[in-house]
């Protein structure tokens, strides 16, 4: 059968691209290599029967705030978000914690003498997010809202270590550091502040939600809506060559440059191939899931009530650990991102039991087993944690890449998101989504705006294909 467009990969970007194309009356086929759709949006019983673990992504502030996902009727396809009042907690050795609440004034007030500094930094971004989101979650362009973008850029382009000088207390500095560490690079790198500011602002806008029933519910809702529009999905077919694909006018690949080169490299110009070959991947992650007999007994009460917990103590400790990873080393006290979905979502574990989800950053391709180190870090802030472990499941960087080939070397962002690739993913080109071959596009997180569950990479790639291949202009083309 012939299709107007074929999408390779059913992650959030592949699904977003397919929906936009199908919405414009085209016939679209998604081909997924795994037997289940979703890419990073998968939920499975990794430890024991009845314990549902998010295999990759778990908490989704950008999914809830995505300018494209917001337009889709996903609630009608089984998607229900749960919003913890405390989006994130950052405990310290003394048993206290800095917390990021849904309320900006309450968050600022708890930072005490940094109340004004926090409000001055984040409130303008919250106030202008409706206008800024389409600008920030897009390829490089001349912004329409220049004043708001300039205000954000002034602080966002700074290294987090520099922006932290706005604050006087260790609590405020460390809270910022934990947010910036989501960038998976040294906090002394430019633009790490932008990641922190966007995450903080979204906590005060829609919060940091988790899907009831697991992250797979986002993928299932997107796929359900896509099929309701008439789209088709084929699973269990791993694409390694263009010869495997049915005839189509447009091909969109939700893969990173390394896979794209293997599949379609012979179609590309030598210059474009050379650029793709120079694409940089970032650090990896070591992930662990636990089946637990009870909740994690954090010393800080606030941490027991948070959907996400950042374990790293001071900013100095977090910055030192992230720099070590950049240098190819493994810190003994790594920054650990932990989620405790079962506190809020009773579907995740048998009655009275719980799950834990966590990862730390490691050098790309690391084979080191970080299980004991991560558990020591949790135990540090939650004495008695290990006694509650019933079973565990781990992924090192190779296993993560085997599970999802887009995670090269364990890089869950689909490529390094430092200043050199923030605006030029995957190559320096007028449109980052077009390749040198007519009708072939890349729509993965290796394109702007990069990693995260928001679908905007796929959305922008599909817009480009609509215009160039089918002569269809969207409202913002």
Cβ-Cβ contacts under 8 Å for 118 (sequence gap 6 or more): 107, 108, 111, 167, 172
Of the ranges 100-114, 277-291, 359-373, 463-477, which one carries the lowest mean pLDDT score? 463-477
Q: What are phi and psi of 136, to 5 degrees?
A: -75, -35
Instruction: With beta carbons less than 8 A apart as the criterion, state whether 298 and 310 touch.
Output: no
Q: d(Cα 384, Cα 373) in Å, to the nearest integer? A: 15
C-alpha closest to that of 345 among 358, 355, 337: 355
Among residues 66, 106, 101, 96, which one has the least CA distance to residue 83?
Answer: 101
Q: What is the pLDDT of residues 398-412, one digit of tens each?
A: 999 999 999 999 999
Contact (CB, 8 A) for 338 and 381:
no
CA distance 158 to 179: 14
Beta carbons within 10 angstroms of residue 185's beta carbon: 27
- In CATH terms, 3-79+211-279+411-470 corresponds, of 2.40.170.20, 3.50.50.60, 3.40.50.12280, 3.30.420.40, to 3.50.50.60
> Is residue 413 very low, low, confident or very high in pLDDT (cuts 50, 70, 90)?
very high
Q: What is the DSSP string of 163-207?
A: HGGG--SHHHHHHHHHHHGGG-S-TTSTTHHHHHHHHHHHHHHT-
Q: For 269-326, how does the pLDDT look when each residue is reduced to its tens digit (9 = 90+)? A: 999 999 999 999 999 999 999 999 999 999 999 999 999 999 999 999 999 999 999 9
Delimit the CATH 3.90.660 region(s) of the chain. 83-206+283-403
Cβ-proximal residues to 377 (8 Å cutoff; 6+ apart), any chain? 311, 333, 334, 336, 360
Write the pLDDT tens digit of every residue in 433-443. 999 999 999 99
Share the mean pLDDT of the chain: 96
Residue 39 has pLDDT above 80, yes or no: yes
Q: Verify cis geometry, omega within 30 degrees of 0, for the bond prior to 426.
A: yes
- What number is the average pLDDT over the span 203-216? 97
Assess whether pLDDT exceeds 60 at residue 477.
no
- Enclosing H/E stretch for 308: strand 306-311
Collapsing DSSP to helix, strand or coil, 424 comes out as coil
Q: Residue 380: phi, psi to the nearest 5? A: -55, -40
139/319 Cα distance (integer angstroms): 29
pLDDT class for 423, splitting at 50, 70, 90? Answer: confident
- Using pLDDT thresholds of 50, 70 and 90, give the confidence band for residue 228: very high
Which residues of the chain are in CATH 3.50.50.60 domains? 3-79+211-279+411-470
Query: Is the CATH number 3.90.660 carried by domain 83-206+283-403?
Result: yes
Quick one: residue 287, left, alpha or beta (phi over 0 = left, psi -120 to 50 = alpha)?
beta
């Amino acid at each position: 059968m012939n299709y107007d467009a074929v999408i390779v990969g059913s992650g959030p970007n592949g699904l977003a691209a397919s929906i936009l194309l199908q919405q414009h009356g085209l016939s679209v086929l998604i081909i997924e290599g795994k037997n289940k759709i979703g890419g990073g949006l998968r939920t499975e019983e990794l430890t024991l029967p009845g314990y549902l673990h998010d295999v990759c992504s778990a908490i989704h502030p950008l999914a809830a705030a995505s300018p494209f996902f917001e337009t889709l009727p996903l609630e009608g396809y089984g998607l229900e978000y749960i919003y913890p009042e405390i989006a994130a907690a950052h405990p310290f050795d003394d048993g206290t914690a800095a917390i990021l609440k849904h309320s900006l004034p309450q968050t600022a007030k708890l930072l005490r003498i940094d109340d004004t500094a926090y409000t001055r930094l984040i409130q303008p971004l919250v106030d202008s997010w409706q206008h800024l989101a389409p600008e920030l979650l897009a390829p490089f362009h001349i912004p329409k809202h220049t004043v708001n973008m300039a205000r954000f850029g002034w602080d966002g382009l700074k290294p987090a270590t520099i922006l932290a000088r706005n604050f006087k207390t260790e609590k405020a500095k460390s809270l910022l550091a934990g947010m910036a560490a989501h960038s998976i690079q040294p906090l002394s790198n430019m633009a790490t502040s932008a990641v922190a500011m966007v995450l903080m602002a979204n906590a005060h806008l829609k919060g940091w939600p988790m899907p009831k029933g697991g992250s797979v519910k986002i993928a299932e809702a997107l796929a359900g809506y896509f099929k309701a529009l008439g789209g088709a999905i084929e699973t269990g077919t791993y694409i390694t060559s263009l010869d495997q694909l049915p005839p189509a006018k447009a091909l969109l690949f939700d893969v990173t440059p390394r896979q794209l080169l293997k599949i379609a490299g012979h179609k590309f110009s030598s210059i474009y191939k050379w650029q793709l070959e120079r694409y940089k991947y970032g650090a990896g992650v070591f992930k662990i899931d636990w089946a637990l007999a009870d909740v994690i007994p954090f010393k800080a009460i606030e941490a027991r009530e948070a959907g996400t917990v950042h374990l790293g103590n001071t900013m100095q400790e977090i910055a030192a650990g992230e720099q070590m990873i950049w240098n190819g080393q493994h810190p003994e006290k790594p920054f650990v991102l932990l989620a405790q979905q079962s506190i809020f979502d009773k579907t995740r574990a048998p009655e009275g039991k719980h799950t834990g989800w966590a990862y730390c950053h490691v050098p790309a391709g690391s084979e080191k087993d970080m299980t004991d180190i991560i558990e020591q870090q949790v135990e540090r802030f939650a004495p008695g944690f290990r006694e509650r472990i019933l079973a565990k499941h781990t992924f090192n960087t190779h296993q993560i890449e085997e599970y999802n080939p887009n995670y090269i070397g364990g890089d869950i962002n689909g490529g390094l998101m430092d200043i050199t690739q923030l605006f030029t993913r995957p190559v320096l080109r007028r449109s980052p989504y077009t390749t040198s071959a007519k009708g072939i596009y890349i729509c993965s997180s290796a394109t702007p705006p990069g990693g995260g569950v928001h679908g905007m990479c796929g959305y922008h790639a599909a817009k480009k294909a609509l215009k160039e291949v089918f002569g269809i202009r969207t409202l913002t083309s």
